[in-house]
Structure 1
């Protein structure tokens, strides 16, 4: 016999049940934030079990309703669960406020107990650029993945908070269980640990280096620094950069201003094959020479002249304007005369 229950009525019933679960979750999480430091370890374990049970029912109802209902409850649940796990694993840990911040890493808090307070190490948010994956995952593994005091569910929480855009979208629908942590790492590795694409991104950065339009010490040093940085990144991918000198020289010299490029061509020896190191050495030497030759800032001419001299110069310019408006033979001859103060100042 088929059920005659109205689908709309059933959905409304499920939504009402989910609302009750959400209210229970909110109440439990709020109580944890207010009184966690006063609870015993046994009480914390009971509340942790209650929190997990409520959220499991919440997820089941969301699946039946076919509605994700936003991410705020999921995030609040993850924060509360991580807080409880840390306090139950380490009973003498700090109160809730000290561990509930998403961006605080274990490495930053552990340094507080040492003799020397080291600067906080910040893990950058990974947004999906392949050439940034190695840096991100290296820091994450060093600070969080290799920390044996953290459980996988806690590591998953930290991982999710350091992802944005596409990387976060790839793993956000995984179940909030310990097993999802290793699966999340595998998904990110398969998607972004692409040696061919990473190499291409660094090569494109080389090709798109900003040209030196004006030969100043700052422009030259920035150019050399950016080029060396991209080449070092490619070399770290086990590419044979040392054999690329002819190609790299062709690319980089085209980005120099005409005067610097001419000076470089005159400086090298025609009977020897040019190398990339020689180009960088030339640019470093040229930047240093420009720095040393830069004169001290000079005040404008009018600021250096005495008030009376300035007045004489203005009067002289006004006379010249009148003579130019009504030229005559004597005026033309007089127009070649210079202001004595200007002559003295320029001398």
Structure 2
């Protein structure tokens, strides 16, 4: 029997047509001879033949679909490299979207292979986030969830994206290409920001970021401790944190001034005067000229 799918489909149509005619003939035979038992055997032959042809056609269609899929991907689409991620919050959204599209959502890749791909995509602090998990099928979803918990943070992504605006280089002289590049870079930052917050929140974030670059590291640390990472902050919240920090520093300064020993210039001068008074009799005694024992005069010396 030929395995050509078109010929098989034609033979299947012929088989169904002959089967229908055969069953009509069998019905007439049974009208004449009620004891005829051929119907059951004929039905078994028809069903078995039908099953064989349809099974061959089904396998052929599956093989053809797989071949077409591989051919279309290998010959038409360029090779897409897996994305890399070092731990930049502003880059996590694009990374995880591409990784899930290429690896995570592919049912033909086992979890342990997905885990291996994930590890190979990560470096730096991001790699350390999943290194604690032993590589296994069961731990892959846990590792990916842990990575998302750390980096899929709306507030951190928002502020890290804002920071890119302050990293833009200064245009040294008028130039159309430089200005065009500046506009494109700002749009590349501004559009993702709009997907995270409205213009009011963007304005607040810019003010907060600018202020935080001017304060001391300890104050900046206090602000980060007070930050609610589940929502985007407003300037009034930042102002409240700065006011608390001001009150704390004021209280520490007042306490320090009360406990600090006072050493004034007058005290030091007084000590010096006391030392001078102690020394003066001795100095006077050492510098006193001898006197005449007879007339008590210093105008002449007494000789022997």
Q: TM-score, normalised by structure 2?
A: 0.42
Q: TM-score, normalised by structure 1?
A: 0.37
Q: Which has the larger radius of gyration?
A: 2
